[in-house]
Structure 1
Amino acid sequence: MALSNNVTGAISFIAMLLSIPVIGAGIWLTTEPDNSCVKLLQWPVIILGILILVVSLAGFIGGFWRIPSLLIFYLIAMLILIVLLGCLVVFVYMVTVNGSGRVVPSRVYLEYNLDDYSGWLQRRVKSSYKWDRIRSCLSSSSMCGELNQSYKMAQDFFNAHITPLQSGCCKPPTECGYTFVNPTYWISPINTAADMDCLQWSNEQTQLCYSCNSCKAGLLANLKKEWRKADVILLITFIALICVYLIGCCAFRNAKTEDLFRKYKQGNAYT
């Protein structure tokens, strides 16, 4: 039984290591400007990673110090966490399955439409109360100012691979017909009937297109790209945890079998 318990402890240690990429994915999301403004996915991921770490530590202690109650807690709690992780992986995939940039004439960068994204994501930015806070956070960043430093000529800007957030928030939509002065300053002629965002644009550097639906769509496009990267990490960890959990279950079952067999042999020795 000691050998099987040690195997269970070693498996639990591997599960502890697997919590690191989950926590790391959450921390990485907090470092991205858009995610730090929205604060939707990173904390559930970090909390789930910490729970996996704590439960795995309990299994590690229970395995090497031969505490059956901790091993049983580990097996039950880890099963719940694996199910939760799997649900999170599926959820992130489902809410990011729709939405992509649209090609516009004579532009290398893409433009984004809010209606292309999932209803759940749209509801996170459509509320004026929620968006006011997000907009204030985004406008305090340097993402638009960086464009002015990088692109002086119109054609250089039109050929640039800018981020979805910069495309949606730092310039007016192409269909509005604004004339380029610099990446964050544009003048008429303007087709105000093309899109409501055309009326929302302001050359005031603290306003720009932060009130536009294109800005909200650009934010969701950025979130989609980053969430998909995090989801790949979570999926790989999910599969690895399933394998580790199944091996741990087998080791625990073998330990119980060895214990029963040992007690049976001791009982026969006394008869």
Structure 2
Amino acid sequence: MAFRLSNNLIGILNTITFLLSVPILGAGIWLGARADGTECERYLSAPVIALGVFLMVVSIAGLVGACCRVTWLLWVYLLAMFVLIVVLFCLTVFAFVVTNRGAGETVSGRGYKEYRLGDYSNWLQKRVESTKNWNRIRSCLQDSKVCKSLQDKNQNWQQFVSSSLSPIESGCCKPPTSCGYTYVGGTDWTITNTNSTDPDCKTWSNAAMGLCYDCQSCKAGVVATVKRDWKRVAVVNIVFLVFIVIVYSVGCCAFRNNRRDNAYHGGWKGGRGYA
């Protein structure tokens, strides 16, 4: 019996998925093997490799199951797809729940905003306040030189206060405005006596590897960045989820076709033997 449309479609989709998994897996291995790679890159390599392996295995199962009519492989493929749908749905809902609180505070006369850790969800706060997690995050920030663009700029005070800083630059690369420190240039500030009760004022250091990397404002800047990125990912997840549900539906049709074809051939052969 000729291949059904759904079997051919599943075969094409999984061929594309397999081809996509190869560069993803290669990128993960490359990140982990780089001798001069940062801790961030090495930490990122594990999930990238896991994603590449998962996509490769699932696509092979779907491709062989649909095109070679291996029913049990197609069943495994559908099970994996179902699990993926459930996980994506849960992650999308979770992302919207934990990012529904918190926003940068506008500062009068400033082009940038400032960030307070207490404004964000408790779950995100606990993640960044964990000593183990923050040591890793801080190392990533220092290795990636997130404050280098400010250090290299030759700005006067007016140019600095009118500039648009990212949440991480605002939280990690300058002291809080409430400290009242005097701007010198780049990331250099003259530390003066202050009446501010903000503990970040005492934490600030002009040293390039110090700055405000241990400040609560820096943690808030990281959380604000995570919140923004997670919302973007959640939107992409919704689109991807719709696509996966469609593929899963087509895969169910291919699975049903396999069972019908197997039953047909089995019945025909059995009838012929009986004759």
TM class, shorter-length: 0.7 to 0.9
Written as runs of structure 1 = structure 2, the 5 A alignment for 1:86-101 is 86-101=89-104
Q: 1:243 aligns with which of 232, 246, 249?
A: 246
Count of matched residue positions in the alignment of Structure 1 and Structure 2? 263
Written as runs of structure 1 = structure 2, the 5 A alignment for 1:1-271 is 1-4=1-4, 7-8=6-7, 10-15=9-14, 17=16, 20=20, 36=40, 43-44=46-47, 47-48=50-51, 50-261=53-264
Q: Distance in 1 between matches of 2:162 and 2:242?
A: 41
Q: Distance in 2 between matches of 1:124 and 1:14?
A: 37
How far the C-alpha of 1:43 sits from its partner, in A, is 4.9
How far the C-alpha of 1:220 sits from its partner, in A, is 1.4
CA contact (8 A) 1:15 1:241 kept: no
Counterpart code for 1:155: Q
Higher mean displacement: 7-16 or 155-164? 7-16
Q: Distance in 2 between matches of 1:98 and 1:115?
A: 10
How far the C-alpha of 1:48 sits from its partner, in A, is 4.1
How far the C-alpha of 1:158 sits from its partner, in A, is 0.9
CA contact (8 A) 2:200 2:216 kept: yes
Give the secondary-structure state (helix, strand or coil) at the position aligned to 2:114. Answer: coil
Extract unaligned runs of 5+ from structure 1.
none
Going from structure 1 to structure 2, the CA distance change for 1:238 and 1:52 (only over 3 Å counts) comes to farther
How far the C-alpha of 1:9 sits from its partner, in A, is 5.0
Counterpart code for 1:173: P
Q: Distance in 2 between matches of 1:13 and 1:35?
A: 38
CA contact (8 A) 1:62 1:69 kept: yes
How far the C-alpha of 1:78 sits from its partner, in A, is 1.9
Counterpart code for 2:40: S
Going from structure 1 to structure 2, the CA distance change for 1:38 and 1:154 (only over 3 Å counts) comes to farther
CA contact (8 A) 2:14 2:63 kept: no
CA contact (8 A) 1:18 1:241 kept: no
Q: Distance in 2 between matches of 1:90 and 1:18?
A: 25
CA contact (8 A) 2:171 2:212 kept: yes
How far the C-alpha of 1:11 sits from its partner, in A, is 1.3
Extract unaligned runs of 5+ from structure 2.
32-36
Q: Deviations over 1:230-255 (max 9, x none)?
A: 33333322210110110110232134
Q: 2:34 is matched with which residue?
A: none
Q: Deviations over 1:35-91 (max 9, x none)?
A: 938958x85476345313311211101221222221122122221222222222223
Bigger RCO (CA 8 Å, 6+ sep): 1
CA contact (8 A) 2:38 2:143 kept: no
